[in-house]
């Protein structure tokens, strides 16, 4: 059901913006006194048309914005260009046993609150423009002698044709404050020198342009180590995301098929046993598995006892007195993917089971009667159906795995020491994903600027991948298909 | 556009609410302080805080004690200095980062507080504590924290039923004896705190530059005529011995408890675990000597301390200073030793009989003759951990001088990298 | 007749396939897989009953069995205050679950059933925001919460877990997309408002998706330790969630005395979650896949 009003091509957007301001211009040009007064007093238009409740709301809103700007916003936005210049100074007062501080700047606070203020201002501007247009619309209605909606009718609108406003206000507000503003903030940090030498409140940081991105790609004072580490970590991130996604996907489907087979006795019991592994929180199960496979852990003890360690050692596969399951490159990479299968397959099995239950039974039956082998049925009926239904989820899973912090962090943090000096010099490890690397950079080295730069790169990779995958896999909008 | 309007209007209301939620500080009837100490210290801190409140009974306090391990204090404090505790305990190697971030109060600025209310001067504090502890707590000539303990180093625990005191004196005899006994010697190579003991012993050094970067000369020849290559070769030889077990940093106590070891390098914090594992054979001494080139070299482990620092941004900073001083005075250090067997930095506290008779502390004191104060910046740890891991896994060829030199050069490059 | 014959042949074939030997092999394979999957879980349970407080690295089963770890969990010391943590997490999870479910359903309904000019731009924004690594915004979220004076408070944690939950609306939207449009059109003709449709028509048929959203948002606070650790940074043990508390037990200086208690805590957390999963399994699966499957 493609909807013409919903087109979002760039042209349409610009047209919409143009219309928005065009209408505003018309309102100002042709509005009467009260409409024009709305430019200064936002409640004017409503007050004239006896919509007193709205008039009061808009007036209070205006007062709030002015107060907010003077008392809060302007203090920070005025320093946005420099991110602050006054360092903290203090004098100790023996009487109060307290320090008396000067009014010092905190670069991070300036950045955060400026951003916050700018978002509020943007919102206020949109409301201000719209308000004038509304006043004009009301004026026109009045001039034409048409009915002007009453307060009760307005309220009813919010559970009627404007119900989406009621529904979306709070969720969008939550997303703006807790996701959008923080992300914008860290995008900005990527263009500053916020690091251990410039940490608020004692020190200030400032804008440095593209310097961090230059360092990331091997230029700048850091030499090649950051660039090298970036390429290595990016490579493993992509390999990991690929294997983690597809092993889980096909592992889950195979397990589901196997359990769904008529030959399985007590399928419910088996399924439940697998589901139990999902129910153990990851930080418990992964930390446990990490200790299970640690250099001095139980698996190593058993391997040494049965002579496996000695065998591998004499075969030249290991040089240590233990099997470095999670402590040597190669070994650790394979183990991480295997452990991820352990963690993820039951979950994927649940999804696949649900999908398979709805597999069109008539198709299966007729294919069987035509003498198709089980593999052929799987290849030509089951798999295409599964791919059709769960294909889009594959894309989101891939993106989620690029950002899969838990598995890598819990399995390797504090347990894996790299033997690659160049990587170590950039605080990276062979098993790091871009997200775990940036997490360590912020947690242990307070290197927020590099972490933010890496974060932006992660975003670009995910965005590029998603765009390509969605365009290839899902042509057009699927949402109308079933309606 | 309507929806945006509503959304934004809602947002503004929320913004209004939060501006009003910023607290105004209540009247100063009760002095509120926050204090961070290690998990294991909680009971002790509670007692000490009660005593502190008794001592200043004219004032009413509201002191909240939180849990923050001394080894991770820096990380939590630096994430948000203003939200960190007013008084916190930390390990001495964190002092440079904390000082640079402006998290620590410069104690001399508050000398008047100590004089007026505790009846002592800052010089009294300095004189009461071991000189090493005071110098480690001093940055740029200013005392930045109160010394709390002086045992943050490592030494050799061994099972004297299997290894004689003479055998424990050098790596060669120690490892051979362990092999004969069918047990292993545990040492943490993959950590710049442990593996630097070999290099420091040979007379190689690290230092801290004014800009926070680390100076290191491990790829050169020391004044004693021992090169970094010689030290690395000696380490590789030790690591290749069948009785040697490289233990991951943090896995030490597990390994001790496993009963596979007959000797291990660790600190006082593992004393009770080792005592349990070795039973009657429990013994401790300085670290064994090793042979670099053709010289016998004594290891020189970093000798660290635990400090109590005062947050420079503390609200009631004067009281915070008093509390920090109280928690580290002679009486408190004695109490800390009696409860937790932690070696005092206070000279009088260290002189009491119980301290003198403690086996592990005696080893620390002996080790103190060889130990040095480790001066390094943040970029020291990852590269040195990796270097140690390479030795542990034997990925550097033991007979290839050029390869070892290259590995050392690369290590030095990483450690000396600028702080970006 | 031919069809019948074919069916007969098919049946015979099936019977052959289902010979006992192949069935046995089939089930043995499943059993082996199940054992592999359960080994770490069994180890977890066994270790939680060990009398030795540290990690057991020499034998799979503990040398000495005891229930002391569970007893200790319920007699809190300064480190382990498990009952308190459990209560905290439960409260946080309940609020998170209510708010998240509401938000998800609200956004899903608006984007699926209604048409308004900002719909597509908002949906595109959601896709873009979902691509940023969440870890990165942690420090900014922390300072935002601090500004609201909500760090070290459970309200702050609830906000962190639920405020942005609207972004996860896609699965629920997929589900709503399958509800026949005609149903809503008819209701509208009967004079039903959008709110009426939402409450009277959509919600009653959305049981699977509600269960799915409830379970997944309820589980969040039990699993997350990164955000919780950052926001509960005053070191006050009584305020911890289960995840933070248990995670801190593995601190280097504590692990040797608390590892088995950590395991016992892990078991105690897993039991209610397992039960929830097993009971709700059917709805959960339906909710998760319902959007695409129903058609």
C233 closest CB neighbour out of B1, B42, B83: B83
Q: What is the pLDDT of residue A4?
A: 42
| CATH tag, B30-151+304-361 | 3.40.190.10
pLDDT at C295: 33
DSSP letter at A197? Answer: G
Nearest to B186 by CA among B118, B251, B280: B251
Q: Round to whole Å and give the CA distance between A162 and B2.
A: 9
- Tell me the per-residue pLDDT of B186-200, one tens digit each, with 9 for 90 and over: 999 999 999 999 999
Task: Encode pLDDT of A214-269 as tens digits.
Answer: 888 866 555 567 888 888 999 999 999 999 999 999 999 999 988 888 888 888 88
Residue B176 phi, psi (nearest 5): -65, -45
Q: Quick check: B1 and C117 CB within 8 A?
A: yes
Are C26 and A264 in contact (CB < 8 Å)? yes
Confidence of residue C7 (pLDDT cuts 50, 70, 90): low
Radius of gyration of chain C measured on its C-alpha atoms: 25
Main-chain dihedrals φ then ψ at residue B273, nearest 5 degrees: -65, -40
Angle at B267 between CA B263 and CA B270, to 5 degrees: 75
**What is the C-alpha end-to-end distance of chain A, expressed in Å?**
9
pLDDT < 70 stretches in chain A? 1-10, 218-224, 472-483
In this predicted model, what pLDDT tens digit does every residue of B99-118 receive, in sequence order?
Answer: 989 999 999 999 999 998 88
Mean of pLDDT over chain B: 88
Query: What whole-number distance in Å separates Cα of residue C63 and Cα of residue C54?
Result: 12
What ipTM was estimated for this complex?
Answer: 0.86
pLDDT-above-70 percentage for chain C: 91
pLDDT-based confidence at residue B409 (cuts at 50, 70, 90): very high
Distance between A444 CA and the closest CA of chain B, angstroms: 7
Residues B37-95 pLDDT 10s: 988 888 999 999 999 999 998 889 999 999 898 988 998 999 889 999 999 999 998 99
Instruction: List all residues 6 or more positions away from A184 whose beta carbon is below 8 Å from its beta carbon.
Output: A115
CATH superfamily of B153-303+370-415: Periplasmic binding protein-like II (3.40.190.10)
Q: State the average pLDDT for chain C.
A: 84
| Neighbour count for residue C34 (Cβ, 10 Å) | 19
| CA–CA distances in Å: residue B87 to residues B33, B106, B228, C238 | 8, 13, 41, 20
Q: Which of B396, B379, B403 minimizes the C-alpha distance to B97?
A: B379
| CA separation for the pair B398, A370 (Å, rounded) | 69
Q: What is the mean pLDDT of residues B342-351?
A: 91
* All chains having 3 or more CB pairs closer than 8 angstroms to chain C: A, B
Taking CA–CA distances from A61, the nearest residue in chain B reads B9
Half-sphere exposure of residue B386, counting CA atoms within 13 Å on the CB side? 25
Q: pLDDT-derived band of residue C105, with 50, 70 and 90 as boundaries?
A: very high
Q: Residue C26, exposed/middle/buried by CB under 10 A (0-12, 13-18, 19+)? A: middle
Residue C141 has pLDDT above 70, yes or no: yes
What residues of C are in contact with residue B22 (Cβ under 8 Å)?
Answer: 147, 149
Residues of A in contact with B212 (CB under 8 A): 196-197
**Closest CB from A168, A291, A442 relative to C106:** A168
Place C6 in a pLDDT band, splitting at 50, 70 and 90: low
The 10s digit of each residue's pLDDT in C47-96 is: 999 888 877 777 788 888 888 889 888 887 767 789 999 999 999 999 99
C223 CB neighbours in chain A (<8 A) are 281-283
Mutate to test the interface with B, among C235, C248, C251, C254 (most CBs of B within 10 A): C235
For residue range C12-29, list pLDDT tens digits in order. 555 555 577 888 888 899
How far apart CA B195 and CA B385 sit, in angstroms, is 8
CATH 3.40.190.10 in chain B, residue ranges: 30-151+304-361, 153-303+370-415
Q: Do C135 and A182 touch (CB under 8 A)?
A: no
pLDDT of residue A96: 85
Condensed to tens digits (0 to 9), the pLDDT of residues B243-271 reads 999 888 777 888 888 888 999 999 888 88
Contact C248 B39 (CB under 8 A): yes
Distance CA A190, CA A212 (A): 7
Structure confidence at residue B11 (pLDDT): 47
What pLDDT score does B1 carry?
A: 40
Mean pLDDT (whole number) for B291-308:
92
The closest of A283, A305, B252, A277 to C60, measured between CA atoms, is A305
| Averaged pLDDT, B175-190 | 93
d(CA B18, CA B115): 42
Handedness of CA A348, A353, A358, A363 (dihedral sign): positive
Instruction: Give residue limits of the domains in chain C.
Output: 2-71, 74-293
For residue A286, the number of C-alpha atoms closer than 13 Å in the C-beta half-sphere is: 26
Distances (CA, A) of B78 to A197, B101, B102, B401: 12, 7, 9, 42
Helices and strands per DSSP (H, E), number in chain C: 15, 0
Tally of residues, chain A: 483
Q: Which residues of B touch A319 (CB under 8 A)?
A: 393-395
Residue C1 has pLDDT above 70, yes or no: no
Q: Which residues in chain C have their CB less than 8 angstroms from residue B33's CB?
A: none
Class of the CATH-defined domain C74-293:
mainly alpha
Using CB atoms within 10 A of its CB, is residue A268 exposed (0-12), middle (13-18) or buried (19+)?
Answer: exposed
Using a CB-CB cut-off of 8 Å, the residues of chain B touching A88 are: 102
CA distance B200 to B287: 13
Chains in touch with B (3+ beta-carbon pairs under 8 Å) read: A, C
Any idea which residue has 């909008």 for tokens?
Answer: A477
| Contact check, Cβ <8 Å, B413/A444 | no
CA distance linking residue C23 with residue B309, whole number of Å: 70
Q: How far is CA A316 from the centre of its chain?
A: 44
**pLDDT for res A184:** 92
Who contacts B60 (Cβ-Cβ below 8 Å, separation ≥6)? B29, B30, B31
Give the confidence band of C182 by pLDDT, cuts at 50, 70, 90: confident
pLDDT number for residue B333: 95
Which among B373, B387, B372, B370 has a CA at the least distance from the CA of B219?
B387
Work out the minimum CA distance from A385 to partner chain B, whole angstroms: 39
Domains of chain A are 9-198 (no CATH), 225-480 (1.10.3720.10)
Give the C-alpha separation, C161 to B179, whole Å: 55
pTM recorded for the entire structure: 0.86
DSSP string, C206-271: -HHHHHHHHHHHHHHHHH--HHHHHHSTT--GGG--HHHHHHHHTSTTTHHHHHHHHHHHHHHHHH
């Amino acid at each position: 059901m493609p909807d013409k009003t919903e087109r979002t091509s760039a042209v349409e957007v610009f047209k919409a913006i143009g219309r928005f301001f065009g209408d505003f211009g018309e309102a100002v040009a042709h509005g009467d006194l009260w409409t024009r007064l709305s430019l200064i007093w936002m409640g004017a238009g409503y007050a004239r048309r006896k919509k007193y409740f709205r008039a009061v709301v808009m007036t209070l809103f205006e007062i709030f914005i002015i107060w907010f700007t003077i008392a809060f916003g302007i203090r920070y936005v005025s320093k946005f260009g420099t991110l602050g210049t006054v360092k903290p100074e203090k004098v100790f007062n023996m009487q109060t046993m307290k320090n008396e501080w000067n009014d010092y700047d905190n670069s991070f606070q300036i950045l955060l609150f400026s951003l916050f203020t700018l978002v509020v201002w943007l919102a206020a501007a949109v409301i201000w423009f719209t308000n004038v247009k509304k006043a004009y619309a009301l004026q026109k209605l009045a001039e034409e002698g048409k009915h002007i909606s009453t307060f009760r009718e307005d309220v009813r609108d919010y559970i009627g044709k404007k119900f989406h406003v009621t529904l979306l206000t709070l969720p969008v507000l939550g997303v703006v404050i807790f996701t959008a503003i923080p992300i914008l903030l860290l995008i900005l940090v990527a263009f500053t020198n916020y690091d251990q030498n410039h940490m608020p409140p004692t020190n200030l940081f400032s804008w440095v342009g593209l310097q961090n991105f230059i360092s990331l790609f091997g230029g700048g004072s850091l030499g090649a180590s950051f660039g090298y580490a970036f390429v290595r970590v990016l490579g493993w991130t992509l390999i990991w995301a690929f294997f983690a996604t597809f092993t889980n996907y096909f592992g889950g489907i195979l397990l589901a098929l196997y359990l769904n087979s008529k030959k399985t006795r007590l399928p419910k019991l088996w399924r439940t046993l697998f589901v139990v592994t999902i129910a153990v929180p990851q930080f418990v199960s992964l930390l446990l598995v990490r200790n299970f496979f640690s250099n001095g852990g139980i698996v190593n003890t058993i391997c040494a006892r049965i002579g496996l360690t000695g065998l591998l050692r004499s075969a030249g596969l290991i040089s240590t007195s233990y099997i470095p399951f999670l402590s040597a490159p190669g070994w650790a990479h394979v183990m991480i993917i295997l452990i991820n299968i352990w963690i993820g397959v039951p979950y994927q099995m649940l999804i696949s089971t649900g999908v398979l239950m709805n597999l069109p039974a008539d198709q299966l039956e007729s294919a069987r009667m035509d003498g198709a082998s089980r593999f052929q049925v799987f290849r030509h009926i089951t798999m295409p159906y599964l791919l059709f239904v769960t294909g889009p989820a594959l894309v989101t899973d891939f993106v989620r795995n690029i950002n899969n912090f838990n598995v890598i962090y819990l399995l390797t943090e504090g347990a894996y020491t790299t033997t690659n000096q160049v990587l170590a010099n950039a605080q990276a490890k062979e098993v790091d994903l871009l997200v775990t690397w940036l997490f360590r950079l912020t947690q242990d080295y307070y290197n927020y600027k590099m972490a933010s730069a890496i974060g932006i790169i992660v975003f670009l990779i995910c965005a590029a991948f998603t765009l390509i995958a969605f365009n290839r896999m899902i042509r057009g909008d699927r949402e109308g298909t079933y309606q | 556009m309507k929806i945006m309007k509503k959304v934004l209007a809602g947002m503004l209301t929320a913004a209004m609410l939060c501006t009003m939620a910023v607290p105004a500080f209540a009247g100063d009837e009760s002095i509120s302080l926050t204090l961070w100490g290690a998990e294991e210290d909680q009971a002790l801190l509670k007692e000490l805080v009660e005593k502190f409140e008794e001592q200043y009974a004219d004032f009413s306090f509201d002191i909240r004690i939180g849990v923050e391990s001394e080894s991770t204090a820096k990380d939590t404090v630096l994430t948000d200095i203003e939200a960190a505790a007013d008084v916190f305990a930390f390990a001495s190697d964190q002092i440079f980062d904390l000082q640079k971030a402006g998290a620590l109060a410069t104690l001399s600025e508050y000398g008047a507080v100590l004089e007026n209310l505790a009846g002592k001067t800052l010089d009294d504090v300095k004189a009461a504590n071991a000189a090493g502890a005071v110098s480690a707590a001093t940055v740029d000539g200013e005392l930045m924290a109160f010394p709390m303990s002086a045992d943050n180093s490592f030494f050799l625990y061994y099972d004297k039923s299997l290894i004689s005191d003479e055998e424990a004196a050098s790596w060669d005899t120690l490892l051979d004896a362990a092999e004969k006994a069918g047990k292993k010697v545990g040492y943490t190579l993959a950590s710049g705190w442990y593996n630097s003991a070999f290099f420091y012993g040979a007379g190689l050094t690290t230092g801290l530059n004014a800009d926070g970067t680390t100076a290191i000369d491990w790829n050169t020849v020391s004044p004693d005529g021992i090169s970094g290559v010689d030290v690395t070769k000696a380490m590789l030889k030790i690591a290749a011995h069948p009785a040697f077990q490289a233990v991951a940093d943090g896995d030490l106590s597990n390994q001790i408890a496993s009963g596979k070891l007959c000797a291990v390098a660790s600190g006082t914090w593992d004393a009770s675990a080792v005592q349990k594992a070795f039973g009657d054979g429990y013994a401790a001494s300085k670290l064994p000597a090793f042979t670099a080139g053709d010289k016998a070299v004594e290891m020189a482990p970093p000798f660290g301390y635990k400090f109590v620092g005062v947050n420079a941004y503390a609200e009631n900073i004067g009281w915070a200073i008093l509390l920090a001083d109280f928690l580290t005075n002679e009486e408190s250090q004695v109490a800390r030793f009696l409860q937790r067997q932690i070696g005092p930095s206070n000279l009088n506290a260290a002189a009491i009989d119980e301290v003198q008779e403690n086996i592990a502390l005696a080893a620390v004191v002996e080790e103190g003759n060889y130990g040095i104060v480790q001066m390094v910046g943040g970029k020291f740890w990852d590269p040195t951990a990796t270097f140690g891991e390479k030795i542990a896994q034997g990925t550097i060829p033991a007979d290839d001088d050029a390869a070892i030199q290259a590995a050392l050069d690369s290590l030095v490059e990483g450690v000396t990298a600028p702080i970006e | 007749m031919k069809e019948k014959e074919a069916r007969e042949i098919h049946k015979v074939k099936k019977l052959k396939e289902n010979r006992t030997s192949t069935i046995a092999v089939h089930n043995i394979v499943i059993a082996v897989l199940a054992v592999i999957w359960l080994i770490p879980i069994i180890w977890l349970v066994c270790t939680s009953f060990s009398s030795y407080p540290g990690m057991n690295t020499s034998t799979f089963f503990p040398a000495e069995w005891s229930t002391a770890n569970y007893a200790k969990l319920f007699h809190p010391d300064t480190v382990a205050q498990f009952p308190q943590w459990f209560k905290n997490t439960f409260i946080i999870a309940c609020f998170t679950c209510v708010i998240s479910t509401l938000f998800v359903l609200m956004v899903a309904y608006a984007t699926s059933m209604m048409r308004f000019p900002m719909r597509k731009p908002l949906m595109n924004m959601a896709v873009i925001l979902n691509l940023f690594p969440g870890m990165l915004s942690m420090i900014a979220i922390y300072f935002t919460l601090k500004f609201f004076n909500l760090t070290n408070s459970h309200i702050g944690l609830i906000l962190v877990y639920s405020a942005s939950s609207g972004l996860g609306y896609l699965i629920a939207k997929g589900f709503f997309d399958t509800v026949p449009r005609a149903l809503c059109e008819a209701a509208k003709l009967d004079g039903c408002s959008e709110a009426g449709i939402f409450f009277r028509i959509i919600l009653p048929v959305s049981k699977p998706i509600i269960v799915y959203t409830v379970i997944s948002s309820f589980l969040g606070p039990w699993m997350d330790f990164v955000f919780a650790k950052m926001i509960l940074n005053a070191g006050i043990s009584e305020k911890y969630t289960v995840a933070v508390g248990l995670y801190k037990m593995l601190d280097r200086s504590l692990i040797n005395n608390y590892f088995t208690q950590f395991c016992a805590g892990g078991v105690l957390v897993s039991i209610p979650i397992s039960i929830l999963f097993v009971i709700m399994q059917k709805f959960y699966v339906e909710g998760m896949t319902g959007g695409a499957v129903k058609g």
